[in-house]
Amino acid sequence: MVLRAGMLWLAGNPRAEGLVRRLPVTQPLVNRFVAGERVEDALSAATAIHERGLHYTLDLLGENAADASRATEAGQAYIDLLDRIQAAGLPGNISIKLTMLGLDISDDLAWQNLEAIVRKASELGMFVRVDTEGSPYTERTIALFRRIHDLYPDAVGIVLQSYLYRTDSDLDEMITRRARVRIVKGAYKEPETVAYPHKSDVDAAFRRHIERLLEDGNYPAIATHDEAIIGMAKGYALRLGIDRSRFEFQMLYGIRRDRQEALAAEGYNVRVYVPYGTSWYPYFMRRLAERPANLLFILRQLVRG
């Protein structure tokens, strides 16, 4: 737990980022978790996933735009990405973070960019997933989601994080409004005042939220690589007679490809979350924090360097 907390702190440390980017040993690990830096790399990965009989969502990496021009550029990049997906004939989704669209600058700026992206997706018959980030952004993110979902209910969904205490009530709201939810455990470092500090409590909340979504949710997405959680979700759906077409599993690019394909072969919908872009460092460090063997390898290289 201490090691994970340290890695999450390093995810926001510019000096550590410079060191990690310069390490020759880093790139093979980055390539495992990130499809590449260009949109062409992302589309190539999406094509391969589609050919394996799986679904995908593309995420242009980037967080915390510091000025309005960068936020607007990010919004346009997503609109261009939707056009590229359409032109490639690859049915798929996109995932976005509101801090990339200007949430640190103003809610109005983030809204302008969000509305333009989702309006475009709606016109193309595509789908946008709004990621939730650290807890300081949760309430503002959900407030903007309410507005966009009121306008384009079929084109946009939300991510909720089970480790936050507030998620039980947020989940009730999203089920009531028939919003599509991706449920995750949560990957940010959070204080005990807002999030469960112990893994057992997080796991219990995650199971509770999955059961609630399977019973009453609108095509929920269960994002996990946890074998016990996957088995629980499958068993719960089976006992309640919930058809496999009514929900999907989501997994990260580069992780458990064998399990992705096995679930698809069993008739489950499986979607692969495909990140790409030059701003890969924070995402990469959060993935390392979840995998101690990779994490320790990088730390050893940093010490030697």
Q: What is the pLDDT of residue 51?
A: 94
* Domains assigned to the chain: 1-34+288-305 (no CATH), 37-279 (3.20.20.220)
CA–CA dist 281, 283 (Å, integer): 6
Q: What is the pLDDT of residue 12?
A: 56
**What tokens were used for 95?**
């995932």
Q: Is 182 a catalytic residue?
A: yes
Q: Is 246 a catalytic residue?
A: no
pLDDT along the chain (305 residues), means of 10: 53 58 66 89 96 96 91 97 95 96 97 98 98 96 98 98 98 98 92 95 97 98 95 98 98 90 97 91 74 54 48
Predicted structure pTM score: 0.88
* Catalytic residue of the set 59, 129, 170, 182: 182
* Catalytic residue of the set 59, 129, 131, 180: 131
